């Protein structure tokens, strides 16, 4: 999750610096559209959380001694 949060922060900083360039590429859209930026960031962080949480929860259910004996 730390990498995802750092990546989103870097992306937000880059988007802030490149606002004018982005505004020339997008038709009828403001470069600093807060709702779109927040939604995209939240969706990315949600996907990263699910990718981290689900395998960790599954691994936490295993008994370490049984797993080590299997190896």
Look at the chain and report how many structural domains it folds into.
1
Q: Which domain holds residue 57?
A: 2-70
Number of H helices, E strands in the chain: 4, 0
- Give tens-digit pLDDT for 37-55: 889 899 999 999 999 999 9
Residues of the chain with pLDDT under 50: none
For the CA atoms of 59, 61, 63, 67, the dihedral, rounded to the nearest 10 degrees, stands at -30
Length of the chain: 71
The span from the CA of 10 to the CA of 56, in Å, is 26
């Amino acid at each position: 999750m730390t990498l995802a949060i750092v990546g989103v922060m870097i992306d937000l900083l880059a988007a802030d610096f490149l606002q004018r360039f982005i505004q020339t590429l997008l038709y009828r859209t403001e470069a600093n559209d807060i709702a779109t930026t927040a939604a995209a960031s939240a969706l990315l962080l949600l996907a990263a959380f699910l990718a981290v949480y689900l395998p960790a929860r599954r691994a936490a259910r295993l008994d370490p001694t049984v797993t080590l004996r299997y190896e």
